[in-house]
Structure 1
């Protein structure tokens, strides 16, 4: 698998009920361990997973199909949604990239998806009711024709009711279009839009609080910039974003962006993680937000960060508030957590099954992980103990 492997997925972190919340003291990260139990197989390049309020989990397959899994009945044999007629899979990293239910899914059955569309691989954000692909409505697109890699593709709703969508920098290597620092394009960004209303000819509105609404030449949809390929991010209960941004050849990084940090510049391609990557892209007086965790490739046999989620389940209350992520090649289980007095702590707490591509949570906040070419779904268990 090349270093530029960056499939996409969308996942929505479902918040457990208030009854599940306690004041249990967090366990030291060094006392946490993860184990995984395979619960389904036979998936075809699963790349995105999201939980539904009825207990099902939807799993997106790269070619454009969506499968349903329930812990009581297993993996349904037939897709619940088929978008293969719209999805461009001409490159290893193109395809159906992300999926998330609307906050009012129980009433509307509405899903939001991201994919590379035929015929030229345009990055596409759309919505449609589950099981009704003919009612698909395209919301937002970004041209991405020259290279097939670095498509981003995560899609998720925040606690503010707004929709967040990630895009890659345009592909190839070395940020060829210098899009990471260019506010005039949606490439290399995380955007934030209001899909509950339409403004003018657009089927969405730009929130008034977006940071570049009044900046000449900037796309007003942009929430964050300076990203290389954020193919996994998740939104925690405080509406902060945890982002796994794929590095080039030196480090992989995880960023934690609080709700008040809209407009943050995460550095690419001035920086790759904390090291300077391209001095010509670094501008005097610009503030770059450094990652809260980064790791080198060669020390860990890693290649591409698979961003995860903050654990909010009830089975292991000692692990609540801990962000869990991995790497596509090394499969190491990374745990990251803010310290009460500031800063972050991190630890490696085990490994996941081969080729982890996405983490998701069920209706109870418990973790699952997908494995790419094996086509597996595994339930993740976190244990706390010395």
Structure 2
């Protein structure tokens, strides 16, 4: 049973408070605290009425509107193990009609193992509880360990869902189409493979797979043209941004721009026929998580990616994308998620600060 404590998790009311100035190439921005007192936050999204929903890795779903904050009842039962727990959240475009939300989470699949799963539920009219909750998809049973769940959710322009799945710490499975590990999936809102997926009808392949050969994609976003991009962890070096196309093999662990943590070579090098190159990579690793494309103003068309390791938000621009700025301040410690809010501003979630910020 999920355990939840307002005393431990929510020591302060969340009226917006000023934190500090952050210098950017577009001028000085003010980091404004919107929600604080969060224990290991993972993702956030917005309801049409301005309510903010935030997932906490231990399994809590937090809602806040103005200074009113509450725990949404009846979230899925998660396996909070290592990097796993309650992970991404998506409020789809048709929420006003459907009242449905989607979350990803680590679902227990056997005694000492869990896998990435997608859960759909209907939010009550008062926003206080979930009903009709159902796991619409879970990866094929793989291996144990609390590593590399991936777990970002993106709604396609057609209203289907893209789901990222890490290799679960078993790198060779990212090349095995009979497994979901190390892939980007494309499913309907009922959890079924989308007709026309590249491996539908391929003997032995999982029909939900859209692309494969990924290590641990913890960021994903659509650009203004509706193109899907992911950002994923390398090993030691070689964190990648990839432009995702159907049926494509992105190479892990056969090719990589990083090395193993003991310094040894990974796979066969950095290139191989039939395997896609990243659009951009970081070396040393910055541990990317959370990605968004910005619309409007000085940052129109730019991508933003949070760094879990070095405490900054990477701004990438141009064609091809290249890092052009590192936005950093005391508030940007271990940035787990970034998004452009309904107000047109950049919002980010800091694990170290246990807070959701807005750049004003």
Does TM, normalized by the shorter one, top 0.5?
A: yes
TM-score (norm 1): 0.76
TM-score (norm 2): 0.82
The 1:273–1:266 alpha-carbon spacing in structure 2 relative to 1, beyond 3 Å, is: farther
Correspondence 1:250-265 to 2 at 5 A: 250-257=237-244, 261-265=245-249
**Is residue 2:180 matched to residue 1:180?**
no
Number of residue pairs matched? 321
Moved over 6 A (4+): none
CA offsets 1:247-267 (integer angstroms, 9 cap, x no match) = 11122111223xxx2112111
**Is residue 2:292 matched to residue 1:309?**
yes
Separation in 2, partners of 1:98, 1:335: 22
Corresponding position of 2:162: 164
CA offsets 1:17-43 (integer angstroms, 9 cap, x no match) = xxxxxxxxxxxxx94467433222111
Separation in 2, partners of 1:323, 1:145: 33
Aligned partners of 1:56 and 1:362 also within 8 Å: no
CA offset at residue 303 of structure 1? 4.5
- Which structure has more strand as a fraction of its residues? 2
Tell me which moved more, 162-171 or 356-365.
356-365
Corresponding position of 2:357: 378
Please point out which of 68, 85, 100 is paired with 1:110.
100
Aligned partners of 1:93 and 1:151 also within 8 Å: yes
The 1:34–1:243 alpha-carbon spacing in structure 2 relative to 1, beyond 3 Å, is: farther
**Is residue 2:156 matched to residue 1:125?**
no
**Is residue 2:118 matched to residue 1:135?**
no
Separation in 1, partners of 2:151, 2:185: 11
**Is residue 2:37 matched to residue 1:54?**
no
Separation in 2, partners of 1:77, 1:212: 44
For structure 1, the residue ranges without an aligned partner over 5 or more in a row are: 1-29, 196-202, 382-386
3-state SS of the aligned residue for 2:71?
coil
For structure 2, the residue ranges without an aligned partner over 5 or more in a row are: 1-23, 260-264
Please point out which of 324, 331, 356 is paired with 2:304.
324
CA offset at residue 350 of structure 1? 2.3
Please point out which of 308, 313, 317 is paired with 1:333.
313
Aligned partners of 2:258 and 2:283 also within 8 Å: no
Please point out which of 199, 206, 209 is paired with 1:222.
209
The 1:254–1:380 alpha-carbon spacing in structure 2 relative to 1, beyond 3 Å, is: farther
The 1:336–1:303 alpha-carbon spacing in structure 2 relative to 1, beyond 3 Å, is: closer
3-state SS of the aligned residue for 1:149?
coil
Separation in 2, partners of 1:93, 1:42: 20
CA offset at residue 235 of structure 1? 1.9
Corresponding position of 2:72: 80
CA offset at residue 140 of structure 1? 1.1
Larger relative contact order (C-alpha < 8 A, sep ≥ 6)? 1
CA offsets 1:197-249 (integer angstroms, 9 cap, x no match) = xxxxxx44322221111322211111111100012211223221221101111
Corresponding position of 1:98: 88
